[in-house]
Amino acid sequence: MELPSEIYNRRLQSEYNQMLSSGFKFEVNPEKNKYVVTVHGPALHKQNNSLMKRESHTAEIDLLRSYPYPGGIMVYWLTPIFHPNIRAEDGIVCIQLVNDWSENQTVVSVVKALEHLLKHPNPRDPLNKEAAKFFEQNPNALEGVFEDKKPNKPRII
Q: Which residues are catalytic?
A: 94
Q: At what angle do helices 107-119 and 5-22 cross, to 10 degrees?
A: 50
H or E element that contains 22: helix 5-22
Q: Quote the CA–CA distance of 143 and 86 in Å, as a whole number.
A: 19
Q: Quote the CA–CA distance of 112 and 12 in Å, as a whole number.
A: 18
Of 44, 45, 25, the C-alpha closest to 35 is: 25
Please, are residues 60 and 75 in contact by the beta-carbon 8 Å criterion? yes
Q: How far is CA 123 from CA 85, 93, 111, in A?
A: 7, 13, 20
Q: Which residues does residue 38 pair with via DSSP β-bridges, in sequence order?
A: 58
